[in-house]
Amino acid sequence: MLRDRWDSRTAFVLASIGSAIGLGNVWRFPYVCYANGGGAFLLAYLVALFIAGIPLLILEFGLGHKMNGSAPQSFFKVKKSYEWMGWMAILVGFFIVCYYAIIMSYCFNYGIAAVTQAWGNNPQEYFDKLTGITSGPFEMGSIRGPVIMGLLLSWIAIVLCIWKGAKTVGKVVYFTVLIPWFLLIVFVVRGVTLPGAIQGLNYYLTPDFSKLLEPQVWLAAFTQVFFSFSIGFGVMIAYGSFLPRDSDIVNNAFIIGLCDAGTAFLGGLAVFGALGYHSFITGKPVEAVVSAGPGLVFVTYPAIISNLPFWQPLFGVLFFLMLLTLAIDSAFSLVEGVAAGVQDKWKLSHRTVNISVALLAFGLAIPLTFGGGLHWLDIVDRFMTQFGLISIVLIECLVIGYIYGSRKMKEYVNSQSEFSVRGWWDIFIKVVTPIVLLFLIAMEVIARVKSSYGGYPRGAEFIGGWLVVILIPVVGFILMKIKRVEA
Minimal distance in Å, beta carbon 180 to ligand PFF?
11
Site string for ligand PFF, 326-345 (x = CB under 6 A): ----x--xx--x--------
- 386 is an interface residue for ligand PFF by CB under 6 A: no
Q: Look up residue 50 and give its amino acid.
A: F
- Residue 7 backbone dihedrals phi, psi, to 5 degrees: -70, -35
Q: Which of 88, 96, 151, 217 binds ligand PFF (CB under 6 A)?
A: 96
Minimal distance in Å, beta carbon 232 to ligand PFF?
8
Residue in the shown chain whose Cβ atom is closest to ligand PFF: 24
Minimal distance in Å, beta carbon 247 to ligand PFF?
20
Q: Which of 372, 197, 376 minimizes the C-alpha distance to 289?
A: 197
Question: Distances in Å between the alpha carbon of 1 and those of 69, 78, 346, 404?
Answer: 12, 21, 11, 26
- 230 is an interface residue for ligand PFF by CB under 6 A: yes
Please report, as residue ranges, which positions from 169 to 228 form the binding site for ligand PFF (by CB under 6 A). Answer: 227-228
Closer to ligand PFF at the Cβ: 90 or 409?
90
Q: Which of 5, 13, 14, 25 binds ligand PFF (CB under 6 A)?
A: 25
- Quote the DSSP letter at residue 163: T
Question: Distances in Å between the alpha carbon of 389 and those of 320, 321, 367, 425?
Answer: 28, 29, 23, 21
- 70 is an interface residue for ligand PFF by CB under 6 A: no
Considering only 21-29, 306-314, 469-477, 478-486, which stretch makes contact with ligand PFF by CB under 6 A? 21-29
Q: Which of 55, 93, 200, 473 binds ligand PFF (CB under 6 A)?
A: 93
Closer to ligand PFF at the Cβ: 132 or 257?
257
Minimal distance in Å, beta carbon 182 to ligand PFF?
18
Burial group, residue 271, by CB count within 10 angstroms (0-12, 13-18, 19+): buried
Q: Which of 336, 296, 270 minimizes the C-alpha distance to 94?
A: 336
CA 64, 68, 72 angle in degrees (round to 5)? Answer: 65
Closer to ligand PFF at the Cβ: 235 or 437?
235
Closer to ligand PFF at the Cβ: 93 or 464?
93
> Roughly how many angstroms between the first and final C-alpha of the chain, as a whole number?
7
Closer to ligand PFF at the Cβ: 17 or 413?
17
- Quote the DSSP letter at residue 421: P
C-beta of residue 71 within 8 angstroms of C-beta of residue 234: yes
- 87 is an interface residue for ligand PFF by CB under 6 A: no
Q: Which residues touch 444 (CB under 8 Å, ≥6 apart)?
A: 219, 386, 387, 390
Minimal distance in Å, beta carbon 21 to ligand PFF?
6
φ/ψ region of 89 (left if φ > 0, alpha if ψ in -120 to 50, else beta) reads alpha
Considering only 16-24, 192-200, 293-301, 364-372, which stretch makes contact with ligand PFF by CB under 6 A? 16-24
Closer to ligand PFF at the Cβ: 188 or 340?
340
CA 275, 34, 190 angle in degrees (round to 5)? Answer: 30
- 22 is an interface residue for ligand PFF by CB under 6 A: yes
C-beta of residue 381 within 8 angstroms of C-beta of residue 99: yes
- 271 is an interface residue for ligand PFF by CB under 6 A: no
C-beta of residue 250 within 8 angstroms of C-beta of residue 417: yes
- 233 is an interface residue for ligand PFF by CB under 6 A: yes
Q: Which of 63, 235, 266, 305 binds ligand PFF (CB under 6 A)?
A: 235
Q: How many CA atoms lie within 13 A of 393 on its CB side?
A: 39
- 19 is an interface residue for ligand PFF by CB under 6 A: yes
Q: Which residues touch 438 (CB under 8 Å, ≥6 apart)?
A: 394
Q: Which of 4, 6, 24, 220 binds ligand PFF (CB under 6 A)?
A: 24
Minimal distance in Å, beta carbon 230 to ligand PFF?
4
Residues in touch with ligand PFF (CB under 6 A) = 19-20, 22-25, 93, 96, 227-228, 230, 233, 235, 330, 333-334, 337
